[in-house]
Amino acid sequence: MSKATALACSNIAFVKYWGKRDEALRLPLNSSVSMALSQATTRTTVAFESRLCQDEVAIDGCAAPALVRLRVVRHLDRIRQISGVAQRARVASFNGFPPDAGLASSASGFAALTLAGTRAAGLELSAKELSCLARLGSGSAARSIPGGFSEWHAGSEHESSWGEQIAPPDHWPGLRDIVAVVAGEPKPAGSTQGMALAQSSPHFETRLSLVPGRLLRVRQAVLDRDLTSLGEVSEEEAIELHLIAMSSRPPIFYWRPETVAFIHRVLAWRSEGLKVYFTMDAGPNVHMLCQEESAGSIVAALEGMAEVQQIIVNAPGPAARLCSGHLF
Ligand code: PMV
């Protein structure tokens, strides 16, 4: 029996991935850039055991629901295929953040599963190979393997579509991503479903034509630690991700009334001189980008808002890594 445990951070995209050119290989239509989230981690232990007749998958202490289990089993099949290991696996995974917080647990989850699973199967893959493999489980997981500030190169085939670190977490240790959880209700559509509809939006091609310029601006903003430029691109991208979703046929509305109220709040804070910008994933919750010195006053204000159910303050997080402390 061989066992390995890995820890990986989720991430928030500044330039988003929303649309695939190849569904099976999860090749995106555009490159994307993100920051790993220090407080949104998944720890996963994988062991291949000859006594097992089928894969056993537990998430946060419970047997995984059928569809989630199927996605994990497919990923284990990929690992079995490259390693030649035939045994079934036992998998236990714990998210260090609430499942309803609107943070992408599939990014941290598939990054941790890829690293722990390949190591348990006796493989020692490069960071690039791990990122390509993680991408097959969940696209955004490709960026959680390198961690820090990373770019997922769209690529044109399996081997060229991977996440690469632009800068390590300590390049900009004072950047904060504060998540205000405004609604814990299930999303109207998962990202796979949303992306499948993205190209039906009449605005899709326009956004795609704007992405190369935004990638240049975001890379430079990260290198220069320029919050104004990073925030401007992140807001443009968040708005357009939702514009595409709302104008897809049929439309998907991830925003809730609280989301819009929150955007107004961020704009008001900014006009009062507080340097803070918003971004969002495919969900109702708002992420706020700011510097460490502004985080305290933002958190204090959020604590006084009835619609805010939970606050998570993230710094730039590290790459996925192997760790001790097996879960079984
Ligand atoms: O990798 P997925 O299927 O969880 O999709 C992620 C999609 C967004 O979070 C909305 C954007 C992104 O680039 O992370």
Give 209 Cα–ligand 1 centroid separation in angstroms.
Answer: 19
pTM (two decimals): 0.96
Cβ contacts of 69 within 8 Å, gap of 6 or more: 55, 57, 63
Walking along the chain (328 residues) 10 residues at a time, the average pLDDT comes out as 92 97 97 97 97 96 94 98 97 84 82 98 98 98 98 98 98 97 76 93 97 98 98 98 97 93 95 97 93 97 88 97 95
| Pocket mutation for ligand 1, best pick of 15, 17, 242, 252 (most atoms within 8 Å of C-beta) | 17
Which has the closest alpha carbon to 266: 241, 287, 240? 287
Ligand 1 surroundings by CB, under 6 angstroms:
13, 16-18, 32, 104, 106-107, 138-140, 191-192, 241, 281-282
Per-residue confidence (pLDDT) for residue 184, from 0 to 100: 63
Q: Is the separation of the CB atoms in 60 and 99 below 8 Å?
A: yes
Per-residue confidence (pLDDT) for residue 100, from 0 to 100: 58
Phi and psi, residue 183, nearest 5°: -155, 130
Cβ contacts of 62 within 8 Å, gap of 6 or more: none
Phi and psi, residue 185, nearest 5°: -75, 155
Per-residue confidence (pLDDT) for residue 241, from 0 to 100: 97
Cα 304–Cα 306–Cα 307 angle in degrees, nearest 5:
120
In three-state secondary structure terms, 318 is coil
Q: Among the atoms of ligand 1, which is closest to the Cα of residue 190?
A: 3
Q: Among the atoms of ligand 1, which is closest to the Cα of residue 281?
A: 10
Distance (Å, whole) CA 144 – CA 134: 9
Q: Among the atoms of ligand 1, which is closest to the Cα of residue 11?
A: 14
Per-residue confidence (pLDDT) for residue 1, from 0 to 100: 56
| Pocket mutation for ligand 1, best pick of 34, 191, 254 (most atoms within 8 Å of C-beta) | 191
Distance (Å, whole) CA 39 – CA 105: 12
The dihedral through the CA atoms of 315, 321, 326, 327 has a sign that is positive
Distance (Å, whole) CA 32 – CA 212: 10
Distance (Å, whole) CA 193 – CA 93: 25
Give 306 Cα–ligand 1 centroid separation in angstroms.
Answer: 28
